């Protein structure tokens, strides 16, 4: 695992499993306790740098950082002059000067976290960049799947909807294939990227054909601007062909689960009775998001000083770690 | 739990003794380490500690025995079993991971978490006996005390260790000690337990064993 | 060597290999090449160096007027001379736009004052590059700048009727429309070549068809009205096929390719470093091979730099916010040597043809791109074909630093440049 978490594709299988296992340990460590706080990252500063509104992701990172006793600074840049491209670097240098140990960044431009990572010394965590990736969402999704179904290897996962513009889909395809799941993306052809044939997944235009063999169905949000963008004729037709309603859900295997990264368009990509059914993991995903983000922050920040120390003169009894 | 340990990635180093399953390097090469306790000595020490716990606490009714992973948990189970034999009923036993409470993450890098396993009755109003294999700087015990205080409020906390090797950096002492072994800072204490190492014993060796071997071999490496 | 020369100086260039032929001496007197060594001449030892006619760039952004922080005529033409160029065509997308005689004359005069190379302004096809009505093309042609190349470069002349009119109108003064082939609807908010990598990186794709559809249309239009048409920076294998097809019909179609499209591919975008952001975008390896072969067989007529300097703050941003463009004047010849000569696709005579003779002809420049024989202008470049060098952006004479070749090792190096008998560069340094 690198100093940064920019893409789910950067995680090796061992890295990914370490995050999931650590998240499980975090869950266990806090389960049933009245004090849901660990002193681990005391004195570290985590900056939430959000150029786009995302209350749920920002809050999830904030809770995760606070449960590890880190200091959290919320830097909301949307609408201010900071949303102009020129100042991303200035913002980075400002955060650097304030001594931030990690920057959690959400940005409307694909690759913005990669740029940020070249300008600052601390860790950068990608909390969603444009239409590129959202690696912690994929990690929490994988974590949720493993908790619910007990496995990831060989698990059949259908990812349904606007794959073209979805950072959730990209990160999930990369991470789940690394973890041995069998992924199928399902979308109208207009909402699949041109190069999707080279992705480590199957491709289908037919949701009904995919449902009976899916252990997990992940519904993607249809963005309002896509509804206007001519990617499909009408919302009604999209919903009919690619929405998940009770009839389609009935075609799933008995123990299959339904996921959604939120926020949902009830009645468009997912029917209310599906979202509220026992198969739905949507609320669980939110809770798991905190544990997974705690694990990520711990693993990235816990050992940040190691490089410096390795250059220092050895202390006689400083030998190894147990 | 699987440790990601890429040798070329210095910034993200997980302790090489990675909790479970990872192969342990051979330790105790007679040419570099010599035994200070034999298997029978270890057995006797644990039996004595069990008796002392019962005696000091006038029975074991309110005692909860918590080991500090990984060898401390193994020792805790053995001591709890012996307490159970003495008292005629099993003593509550569990494990307490202190990783998230350590003060040396910046120095040592992150390590995988170990399970924390508190007996169902909890620790409120009880006497907690912490068990570790080697007492060295005292920092692990300090972390354990912090961790305990987030879980509940015991009436008292006591400490039992198999080996006390000295060199305390904090005002901490053990209530029950299997054996005091004066050591030099350049030495390494290897506690071997049948459950982990195939046999019981304690070895004292020079510190110039490879970093991995010393790290894997002994809890003592967490001063 | 410290020589500050003025036209009228006399030179003996000893042992230069013209077009990589046998070593011979070049004699310069009063701005032209002569048969016999002039008396009292300065001598330059050109042992091992190749002499080519001075390079001609059909496609340069000098940024003046408007963005003098990124480049000026002075700095841009100095970079050109260091790159072996003796003439550049200055694109029209300045501020104000070069869509009237006044602006093109201003740029032309700035070029004269700088003196590093000839500056031939390109006139805008439409007023303000807006694609709505024709600019005063005739006035620009008749101005002191004698504009012959017209382009809305940066924007496509998308309206087919307007394009037809432009193609027809410039026939009156033997002008040519240089089309920036990019269908605007197919490239709305496009960021990089559309393909496997754009899908993975989540960057809006720029399909090859957006370029090819315009090229196909304009070939047909040019044939229909009997005009010549030139295509700027063709970047795809499909564009090459269309140009090849149009030429096979005998239509008057020419095309240019940039050095960067001969060497770089879209996988570089994975770093999200906007130094690789350019219009048209870097394409695939297959496209690069097709472009090289087309340049070799003459389907593509010319190498043109599309030198597009940008201020640091316009490139040190996230990808989507960054400006399109790369600098290229100082690296063009070396990139062509690396991509075309080292690979055996083109010999040095071919380089002279694609970087001097044909671009001069397309631009109707009578004093450029001439063979190095007695009576011709002493406008030439001396090249060390055996040199290798590593590009250092900080050493650029351009005011901007956005070269995608920084840190790369390239072959061949410009040693000296002569413009009508006057050295503009000697021993790799400006005079």
ipTM score of complex: 0.89
- CA torsion sign for C9, C15, C16, C22 is positive
What are the residues facing B135 on neighbouring strands? Answer: B164
pLDDT, residue A132, reads 97
Distance (Å) from the C-alpha of residue A104 to the closest C-alpha of chain B? 18
Q: How far apart are the first and last CA of chain A?
A: 20
Taking only the tens place, the pLDDT of each residue in A161-213 is: 999 999 999 999 999 999 999 999 999 999 999 999 999 999 999 999 999 99
pLDDT, residue A321, reads 30
Contact A20, A142 (CB under 8 A): yes
Q: Which long-range contacts (CB under 8 A, 24 or more apart) does B170-176 make?
A: B170/B137, B170/B138, B170/B139, B170/B141, B170/B142, B171/B138, B172/B135, B172/B138, B172/B141, B172/B142, B174/B135, B175/B56, B175/B129, B176/B49, B176/B52, B176/B53, B176/B129
B43 CB within 8 Å of a chain A CB: no
Taking only the tens place, the pLDDT of each residue in A271-291 is: 999 999 999 999 999 999 999
Q: Is the model more confident about A186 or about A224?
A: A186
Chain B nearest-CA residue for A312: B107
Give the Cα separation of C371 and B110 in Å (integer): 70
Q: For residue B3, is pLDDT > 70?
A: no
SS3 state at C334: helix
Partners of chain C (3+ Cβ pairs below 8 A): A
CB-count exposure of residue A80 (10 Å: 0-12, 13-18, 19+)? exposed
Give the Cα separation of C108 and C77 in Å (integer): 12
For C262-298, the three-class secondary structure string (H helix, E strand, C coil) is: HHCCHHHHHHCCHHHCCCCCCCCHHHHHHHHHHHHHC
The residues near A236 (Cβ < 8 Å, ≥ 6 apart) are none
**Nearest-CB residue to A85 (from C198, C272, C317):** C317
Mutate to test the interface with C, among A195, A197, A199, A228 (most CBs of C within 10 A): A195
Contact A233, A193 (CB under 8 A): no
Which regions of chain C are under pLDDT 50?
A: 1-7
Q: Do A29 and B15 touch (CB under 8 A)?
A: no
Give the Cα separation of B183 and B223 in Å (integer): 13
Tell me which chain C residues have a C-beta less than 8 angstroms from the C-beta of A198: 196, 199
| Phi and psi at residue B50, to the nearest 5° | -60, -45
The residues near C301 (Cβ < 8 Å, ≥ 6 apart) are C254, C255, C256, C354, C358, C359, C362
> What are the start and end residues of each CATH 3.40.50.1370 domain in chain A?
8-133+285-306, 135-281
Q: Do A112 and C316 touch (CB under 8 A)?
A: no
pLDDT, residue A82, reads 52
Tell me which chain B residues have a C-beta less than 8 angstroms from the C-beta of A101: none
Distance (Å) from the C-alpha of residue C383 to the closest C-alpha of chain A? 38
Q: Which of C213, C150, C216, C164 is nearest to C185 (CA)?
A: C213
Catalogue the active-site residues of A.
56-57, 84, 106, 134
For B13-69, the three-class secondary structure string (H helix, E strand, C coil) is: CCCCCCCCCCCCCCCCCCCCCEEEECHHHHHHHHHHHHHHHHHHCCCCCCEEEEECC
**Nearest-CB residue to B100 (from A38, A317, A320):** A38
Q: For chain A, how big is the Rg over CA atoms in Å?
A: 20
CB pairs under 8 A between A and B: 134
Chain A nearest-CA residue for B96: A29
Contact B117, B94 (CB under 8 A): yes
Distance (Å) from the C-alpha of residue C322 to the closest C-alpha of chain A? 8
**In order of start, what are the domains of chain B with their CATH numbers?**
40-184 (3.40.50.2020)
| CATH number, domain C10-50+376-430 | 2.30.40.10
Q: Do chains B and C touch (3 or more CB pairs under 8 A)?
A: no
Distance (Å) from the C-alpha of residue B50 to the closest C-alpha of chain A? 26
Q: Do A85 and C321 touch (CB under 8 A)?
A: yes
pLDDT confidence of B23, banded at 50, 70, 90?
A: very low
B121 CB within 8 Å of a chain A CB: no
Mutate to test the interface with A, among C191, C192, C197, C200 (most CBs of A within 10 A): C200
Q: Do A3 and B151 touch (CB under 8 A)?
A: no
Chain C nearest-CA residue for A200: C200
Q: How far apart are the first and last CA of chain B?
A: 24
Give the Cα separation of C1 and C4 in Å (integer): 10
Give the Cα separation of C194 and C206 in Å (integer): 5
Q: Which of A31, A20, A52 is nearest to A140 (CA)?
A: A20
For β-strands A156-160 and A123-129, DSSP reports them as unpaired
For B159-197, give one letter per residue: b (16+ CB within 10 A) or e: bbbbbbbebbeeebebbbbbbebebebebbbbbbbeebb
Q: Do B2 and A18 touch (CB under 8 A)?
A: yes
pLDDT, residue B31, reads 56
Residue A20 per-residue DSSP state: H
Class of CATH domain A8-133+285-306: alpha beta
A73 CB within 8 Å of a chain C CB: no
pLDDT confidence of A97, banded at 50, 70, 90?
A: confident
Give the Cα separation of A182 and A200 in Å (integer): 9
Q: Average the pLDDT over each of B75-89, B202-216, C256-270 and give the range with the smallest value.
A: B202-216
CA distances from A91 to A46, A81, A105, A190 (A): 15, 11, 11, 36
Partners of chain B (3+ Cβ pairs below 8 A): A
Q: For residue B27, is pLDDT > 60?
A: no
Q: For residue B12, is pLDDT > 50?
A: no
CA distances from A78 to A81, A106, A119 (A): 8, 10, 21
| Phi and psi at residue C88, to the nearest 5° | -130, 150
Q: Do A85 and C195 touch (CB under 8 A)?
A: no
Tell me which chain A residues have a C-beta less than 8 angstroms from the C-beta of C310: none
A203 CB within 8 Å of a chain C CB: no
For β-strands C380-390 and C253-257, DSSP reports them as unpaired
| Phi and psi at residue C253, to the nearest 5° | -120, 130
Mutate to test the interface with C, among A87, A138, A193, A198 (most CBs of C within 10 A): A193
Tell me which chain B residues have a C-beta less than 8 angstroms from the C-beta of A26: 113
Taking only the tens place, the pLDDT of each residue in B58-81 is: 999 999 999 999 899 999 999 999
Tell me which chain A residues have a C-beta less than 8 angstroms from the C-beta of C318: 85, 88, 107, 109, 111-112, 115
Give the Cα separation of C74 and A312 in Å (integer): 52
**Nearest-CB residue to A194 (from C195, C317, C322):** C195
B164 CB within 8 Å of a chain A CB: no
Q: For residue A141, is pLDDT > 50?
A: yes
Tell me which chain C residues have a C-beta less than 8 angstroms from the C-beta of A86: 313-314, 317, 321
pLDDT, residue A98, reads 86
Interface of A with B in 16-55 (CB under 8 A): 17-18, 21-22, 25-26, 28-29, 33, 35, 37-40
CA distances from C379 to A21, C9, C11, C32 (A): 71, 13, 12, 8
Taking only the tens place, the pLDDT of each residue in B103-144 is: 777 666 677 788 888 999 899 999 999 999 999 999 999 999
Contact A166, A220 (CB under 8 A): yes
Catalogue the active-site residues of C.
306
Q: Which of A5, A293, A289 is nearest to A129 (CA)?
A: A5
Q: Do A194 and C322 touch (CB under 8 A)?
A: no
B219 CB within 8 Å of a chain A CB: yes
Q: Which of C89, C68, C59 is nearest to C399 (CA)?
A: C68
Q: Average the pLDDT over each of A94-103, B41-50, C82-91, C421-430 and give the range with the smallest value.
A: A94-103
Q: Do B9 and A68 touch (CB under 8 A)?
A: no
Contact B11, A4 (CB under 8 A): no
- Helix axes of C237-248 and C285-297: crossing angle, nearest 10 degrees: 30
Segment B35-43 shows an average pLDDT of: 95
Contact C197, C276 (CB under 8 A): no
CA distances from C163 to C89, C92, C100, C139, C216 (A): 21, 17, 19, 19, 13
Q: For residue B18, is pLDDT > 50?
A: no
Q: Do C322 and A85 touch (CB under 8 A)?
A: yes
Tell me which chain C residues have a C-beta less than 8 angstroms from the C-beta of A85: 317-318, 320-322
Give the Cα separation of C85 and C55 in Å (integer): 4
Residue spans per domain, chain C: 10-50+376-430, 55-362
A204 CB within 8 Å of a chain B CB: no
Q: Bin B88: left if φ > 0, else alpha if -120 < ψ < 50, else beta.
A: left
A130 CB within 8 Å of a chain C CB: yes
Chain A nearest-CA residue for B19: A322
Sheet of B34-37, strands arranged across: B34-37, B201-206, B187-192
B101 CB within 8 Å of a chain A CB: yes
Give the Cα separation of C33 and C378 in Å (integer): 5
pLDDT, residue B107, reads 67
Asked if residue B70 has a cis previous peptide bond (ω within 30° of 0), the answer is: yes
Distance (Å) from the C-alpha of residue B44 to the closest C-alpha of chain A? 26
Q: In degrees, to the nearest 5, what angle opens at C-alpha C146 toward C-alphas C142 and C150? A: 95
Q: Do A110 and C195 touch (CB under 8 A)?
A: no
For β-strands B34-37 and A216-219, DSSP reports them as unpaired
Tell me which chain B residues have a C-beta less than 8 angstroms from the C-beta of A25: 1, 97, 112-115
Mutate to test the interface with A, among B109, B138, B206, B217 (most CBs of A within 10 A): B109
**Nearest-CB residue to A195 (from C196, C317, C320):** C196
Q: Provide the CATH topology of domain C55-362.
A: TIM Barrel (3.20.20)
| CATH number, domain A135-281 | 3.40.50.1370
**What percent of chain A lies above the pLDDT cut of 70?**
90
pLDDT confidence of B42, banded at 50, 70, 90?
A: very high
Give the Cα separation of C328 and C309 in Å (integer): 9
CB pairs under 8 A between A and C: 81
CB atoms within 10 A of CB C254: 21
């Amino acid at each position: 695992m690198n100093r940064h978490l920019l893409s789910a594709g950067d995680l090796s299988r061992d890295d990914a499993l370490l995050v999931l296992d650590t998240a499980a340990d975090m869950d266990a460590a806090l389960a049933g306790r009245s004090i849901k706080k660990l002193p681990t990252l005391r004195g570290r500063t985590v900056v939430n740098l959000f150029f786009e509104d995302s209350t749920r992701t920002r809050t999830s990172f904030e809770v995760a950082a606070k449960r590890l006793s880190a200091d959290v600074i919320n830097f909301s840049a949307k609408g201010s002059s900071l949303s102009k491209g020129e100042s991303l670097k200035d913002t980075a240098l400002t955060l650097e000067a304030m001594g931030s140990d990690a920057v959690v960044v959400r940005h409307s431009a694909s690759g913005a976290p990669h740029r940020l990572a070249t300008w600052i010394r601390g860790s950068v965590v990608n909390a969603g960049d444009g239409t590129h990736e959202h690696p912690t969402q994929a990690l929490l999704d994988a974590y949720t799947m493993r908790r619910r179904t007990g496995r990831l290897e060989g698990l059949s996962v259908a990812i349904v909807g606007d794959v073209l513009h979805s950072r959730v889909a990209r990160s999930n395809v990369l991470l789940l294939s690394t973890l041995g799941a069998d992924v199928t993306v399902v979308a109208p052809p207009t909402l699949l990227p041109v190069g999707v044939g080279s992705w480590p997944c199957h491709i289908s235009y037919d949701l009904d054909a995919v449902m009976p063999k899916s252990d997990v169905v992940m519904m993607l949000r249809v963005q309002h601007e896509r509804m206007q963008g001519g990617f499909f004729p009408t919302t009604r037709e999209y919903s009919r062909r690619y929405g998940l309603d009770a009839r389609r859900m009935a075609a799933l295997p008995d123990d299959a689960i339904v996921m959604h990264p939120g926020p949902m368009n009830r009645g468009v990509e997912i029917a209310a009775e599906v979202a509220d059914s026992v198969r739905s993991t949507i609320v669980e995903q939110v809770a798991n998001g905190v544990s997974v983000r705690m694990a990520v922050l711990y693993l990235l920040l816990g050992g940040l000083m190691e490089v410096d120390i390795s250059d220092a003169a050895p202390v006689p009894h400083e030998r190894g770690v147990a | 739990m699987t440790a990601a340990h890429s040798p070329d990635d210095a910034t993200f180093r997980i302790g090489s003794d990675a909790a479970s399953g990872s192969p342990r390097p051979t330790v105790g090469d007679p040419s570099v380490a010599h035994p200070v306790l034999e298997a029978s000595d270890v057995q006797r020490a644990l039996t004595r500690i069990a008796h002392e716990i019962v005696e000091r606490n006038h029975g074991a009714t309110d005692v909860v025995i918590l080991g500090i992973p990984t060898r401390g948990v193994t020792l805790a189970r053995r001591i709890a079993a012996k307490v159970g034999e003495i008292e005629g009923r099993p003593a509550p036993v569990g494990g307490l991971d202190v990783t998230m409470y350590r003060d040396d993450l910046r120095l040592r890098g992150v390590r995988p978490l170990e399970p924390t396993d508190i007996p169902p009755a909890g620790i409120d109003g009880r006497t907690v006996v912490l068990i570790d294999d080697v007492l060295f700087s005292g920092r692990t015990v300090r972390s354990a005390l912090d961790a305990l205080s987030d879980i509940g409020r015991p009436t008292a906390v006591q400490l039992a260790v198999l080996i006390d090797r000295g060199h305390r950096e904090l005002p901490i002492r053990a209530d029950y000690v299997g054996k005091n072994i004066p050591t030099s800072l350049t030495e390494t204490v290897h506690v071997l337990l049948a459950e982990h190492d195939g046999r019981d014993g304690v070895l004292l060796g020079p510190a110039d064993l490879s970093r991995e071997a010393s790290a894997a071999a002994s809890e003592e490496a967490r001063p | 060597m410290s020589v500050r020369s003025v036209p009228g100086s006399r030179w003996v260039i000893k042992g230069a290999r013209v077009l990589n032929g046998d070593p011979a001496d070049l004699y310069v007197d009063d701005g032209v090449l002569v048969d016999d060594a002039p008396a009292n001449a300065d001598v330059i030892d050109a042992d091992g160096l190749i002499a080519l006619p001075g390079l001609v760039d059909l496609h340069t952004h000098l940024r003046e007027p408007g963005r003098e922080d990124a480049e000026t005529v002075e700095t841009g033409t100095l970079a050109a001379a260091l790159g072996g160029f003796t003439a550049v065509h200055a694109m029209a997308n300045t501020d104000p736009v070069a869509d009237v005689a006044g602006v093109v004359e201003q740029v032309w005069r700035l070029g004269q004052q700088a003196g590093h190379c000839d500056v031939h302004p390109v006139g805008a096809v439409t007023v303000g590059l807006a694609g709505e009505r024709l600019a005063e093309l005739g006035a620009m042609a008749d101005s002191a700048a004698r504009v012959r190349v017209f382009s809305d470069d940066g924007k496509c002349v998308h309206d087919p009727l307007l394009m037809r009119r432009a193609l027809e109108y410039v026939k009156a003064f033997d002008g040519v429309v240089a089309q920036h082939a990019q269908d605007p609807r197919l490239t709305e908010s496009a960021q990089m070549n559309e393909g496997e990598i754009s899908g993975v990186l989540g960057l809006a794709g720029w399909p090859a068809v957006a370029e090819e559809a315009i090229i196909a249309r304009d070939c047909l239009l040019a044939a229909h009205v009997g005009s010549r048409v030139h295509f700027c920076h063709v970047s795809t294998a499909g564009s090459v096929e269309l140009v090849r097809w149009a030429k096979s019909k005998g239509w008057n179609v020419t095309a240019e390719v940039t050095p960067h499209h001969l060497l770089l591919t879209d996988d570089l975008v994975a770093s999200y470093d906007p130094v690789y952001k350019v219009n048209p975008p870097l394409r695939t390896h297959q496209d690069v091979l097709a472009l090289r072969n087309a340049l070799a067989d003459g389907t593509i007529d010319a190498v043109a730099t599309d030198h597009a300097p940008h201020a640091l703050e316009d490139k040190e941003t996230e990808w989507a916010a960054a400006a399109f463009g790369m600098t290229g004047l100082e690296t063009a010849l070396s990139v062509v040597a690396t991509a075309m000569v080292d690979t055996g696709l083109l010999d040095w005579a071919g380089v002279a043809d694609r970087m001097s003779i044909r671009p001069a002809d397309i631009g109707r420049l009578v004093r450029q791109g001439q063979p190095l024989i007695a009576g011709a202008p002493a406008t030439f470049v001396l090249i060390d074909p055996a040199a290798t060098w590593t590009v250092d952006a900080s050493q650029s004479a351009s005011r901007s630093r956005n070269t995608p070749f920084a840190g790369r090792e390239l072959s061949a190096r410009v040693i000296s440049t002569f413009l009508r008998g006057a050295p503009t560069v000697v021993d790799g340094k400006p005079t």
